[in-house]
Structure 1
Amino acid sequence: MSKILEVNNLNISFHTFAGEVKAIRGANFHLNKGETLAIVGESGSGKSVTTKAIMRLLPETNSEIKEGEILFDGKDLTKLSDKQMQSIRGKEISMIFQDPMTSLNPTMTVGKQIMEPIIKHQNMSKSAAKQRAIELLKLVGIPMAEERFKQYPHQFSGGMRQRVVIAIALACNPKVLIADEPTTALDVTIQAQILELMKDLQKKIDTSIIFITHDLGVVANVADRVAVMYGGKIIEIGTVDEIFYNPQHPYTWGLISSMPDLDTAEDELYAIPGSPPDLLNPPKGDAFAPRNEYAMKIDLEQEPPMFKVSDTHYAATWLLHPDAPKVEPPAAVMKRKEMYPGYNNK
């Protein structure tokens, strides 16, 4: 598979009154053509900051890309001017934001909002852009598209508004689509419909997707590969099966253990102890060490490198070092491995 996007050693800081917040600390990952990569982690782990950096949407007043590169189609996006980014943003890389109501202009009809990027980036006439906008409304599953085209965002339900936002993002057939928790504000049944819609659209328009979420249940349904983020770093990456059925990092164990299933009693749900690290003063060793019941002395002193588990699976934990003691994952993780016999002997 060829790579369409590469993030190499990305370091991003925010300059605040309290000091320098090192929000992203050497993030590395890539996106292949035609795949869905999910980036998961708790709030504050750096997921949205990373994707906003790809779109160059971070505030210029207090944010700084200190090091690293973001390669898209051979171009380093960190080196492009604002004008050069305008020809990429919305046309070649699009983004679906979390809350559709704040993404849409309440004073404009949804039809005009879908037409806007089509006219700007594809030099279509107004009548051709209108036809394309109606086609997009139909594509994302909005009934009576011709009538709905003339309506305003407040006349749509939450799920329908999110479909409109997806239509705007798809208006120019982008090569990369970034979905930043697109189903968080929706109820469970609408969430399932939007996820199904995104899977269907990916097949139809052959785009590559970065899907940001904190919900591992969502990941299982949409992703090809999963990158787990913690403390501004990618700490484990692999195929969706490798992350779900053979996770290696204790933080990933915690995320999987905290997922409820039909057998989970109300008082049994696991929560990872402690809080995420203070990135004003990043920890010296493994950022997860203070919350890790399996932490060793070296975790507090030295940052672990990425250890190779397979050709597609890597994890940054000292537990993978040949000299590390053998540790059995928690019961919830072992239960998943038993559900997937292919990983029982790994």
Structure 2
Amino acid sequence: MSKLLEVKDLRVSFNTYNGEVQAVRGVSFDLNEGETLAIVGESGSGKSVTSSTLMGLLPKPAGVIKSGQILFQGEDLVKKSEKEMQKIRGKEISMVFQDPLSSLNPTMKIGNQIIEGLIKHQGMNRAEAKKKAIELLDQVGIPHPEIRVNQYPHQFSGGMRQRVVIAIALACNPKILIADEPTTALDVTIQAQILELMKEIQRDTKTSIIFITHDLGVVANVADRVAVMYAGKIVEIGTVDDVFYNPKHPYTWGLLGSMPTLDAEDEELYTIPGTPPDMLNPPKGDAFAPRNEFALEIDAVMEPPMFKVSDTHYAATWLLHKNAPKIEMPESVRRRIEGFAKTGKKGGE
């Protein structure tokens, strides 16, 4: 597979009255054609800021790209003007936001909100665009699309509104679809339907997807690769099987240990102690060290590099250094991994 997107050492800060918040601190990853990459982490880890930066949607003037490159088909999006990004946004790279109600204009019919992009980016006339809008609504599973195309957002349920937002994002056949917590506001049943829809879209259109979430279990059966973020950095990245069955970073251990499984109903879930660091003053060494029961002395003074576990798997923890003591993952995490393997499902789905 060829690389569609390359993010290199991206650093993003926000200038506030209290000082500079270092939201993204040297993030690097690739996205291949037709691939689904999940970016996972707690609130405040920098994953949504990363996705907004890719879209050129950082709030100005507070949000600033300090350094780094975002290479899309070989061109650096960081160097693009707002006018140039408007031609890319929606047409080449689209985004599905967390709250579908705030993403839709309550005063406009659903059809018109899809038609707008088709006329602007695809050069269709209104009749062609309406026909395409009905096809898109049908594609994302909206019943009676020829009727629903003339209705308003308040006439749709939460799950249906999210399907409409996905239809809008797909209208111009984008090469990359960024989904920022698209299922958080939905109940479990609807959540599963939206995840299945996104799998179908990826399979049918070969669109590359970046899936942003705080929940490893949500993306376990959707993503091809997973990047785990903490305190503005990617601390582990690999295939889904790498991260679920052979996790190496203590933070990933914590995330996996906090996930319920069908085989461990009576077992107490693991809780990561403490809170994420203050990004106004990030820690000098490993940002996760204060919450890490396995932290080494070096973690307090020096940031770990990305250590290679395999050709597809990397993790930033001093525990992977050749001179580090041999420390195994907690037994509770190991039991959960065994439970995932036994059921053939991850995240207890």
- The answer to whether the 8 A contact 1:245-1:333 is kept is no
- The answer to whether the 8 A contact 1:256-1:332 is kept is no
Matches within 5 A, 1:55-74: 55-74=55-74
- The answer to whether the 8 A contact 1:175-1:207 is kept is yes
Partner amino acid for 2:235?
Answer: I
Partner amino acid for 2:103?
Answer: S
Runs of 4+ deviating beyond 4 Å: none
Which runs of 5 or more structure 1 residues have no equivalent in the other structure?
A: 342-346
Aligned to 2:271, the other structure's residue is in SS state coil
CA RMSD of aligned residues (A): 1.1
1:7 match:
7
1:204 match:
204
Aligned to 1:127, the other structure's residue is in SS state helix
Q: What is the alpha-carbon distance in structure 1 between the residues aligned to residue 34 and residue 265 of structure 2?
A: 39
Report deviation, 1:174.
0.3
Q: Deviations over 1:183-210 (max 9, x none)?
A: 0000000000000011001111110000
Q: What is the alpha-carbon distance in structure 1 between the residues aligned to residue 82 and residue 24 of structure 2?
A: 22
Report deviation, 1:289.
0.2
Partner amino acid for 2:188?
Answer: V
Matches within 5 A, 1:189-228: 189-228=189-228
Partner amino acid for 2:73?
Answer: D
Q: What is the alpha-carbon distance in structure 2 between the residues aligned to residue 240 and residue 33 of structure 1?
A: 17
1:124 match:
124
Report deviation, 1:221.
1.6
Q: What is the alpha-carbon distance in structure 1 between the residues aligned to residue 291 and residue 131 of structure 2?
A: 54
Report deviation, 1:33.
0.5
Q: Deviations over 1:218-256 (max 9, x none)?
A: 111210000000000000000000000000000000000
Report deviation, 1:267.
7.2
Aligned to 1:223, the other structure's residue is in SS state coil
Q: Within the alignment, does 1:187 sit opposite 2:226 as a pair?
A: no
Aligned to 2:102, the other structure's residue is in SS state helix
- Kindly tell me: are residues 266 and 152 of structure 1, through their superposed partners in 2, closer, same or farther at Cα, counting changes over 3 Å? farther
2:345 match:
none
Aligned to 2:220, the other structure's residue is in SS state helix
2:54 match:
54
Report deviation, 1:270.
1.5
Partner amino acid for 1:209?
Answer: I
Matches within 5 A, 1:164-183: 164-183=164-183
Partner amino acid for 1:70?
Answer: I
Aligned to 1:66, the other structure's residue is in SS state strand
Which runs of 5 or more structure 2 residues have no equivalent in the other structure?
A: 343-349
Q: Within the alignment, does 1:159 sit opposite 2:159 as a pair?
A: yes
Partner amino acid for 1:112?
Answer: N
Partner amino acid for 2:163?
Answer: R
Report deviation, 1:320.
0.2
Report deviation, 1:156.
0.3
Report deviation, 1:105.
0.2
Partner amino acid for 1:308?
Answer: K
1:93 match:
93
Q: Deviations over 1:22-66 (max 9, x none)?
A: 111101111111010000000000000000000010111211100
- The answer to whether the 8 A contact 1:96-1:179 is kept is yes
Q: What is the alpha-carbon distance in structure 2 between the residues aligned to residue 209 and residue 330 of structure 1?
A: 32
Q: Between 312-321 and 322-331, report the one with greater CA deviation.
A: 322-331
Q: What is the alpha-carbon distance in structure 2 between the residues aligned to residue 180 and residue 282 of structure 1?
A: 25
1:22 match:
22
- The answer to whether the 8 A contact 2:36-2:223 is kept is yes
Q: What is the alpha-carbon distance in structure 2 between the residues aligned to residue 22 and residue 243 of structure 1?
A: 26
Q: Structure 2 length normalisation: TM-score?
A: 0.96
Aligned to 1:105, the other structure's residue is in SS state coil
Report deviation, 1:337.
4.5
- The answer to whether the 8 A contact 2:119-2:129 is kept is yes
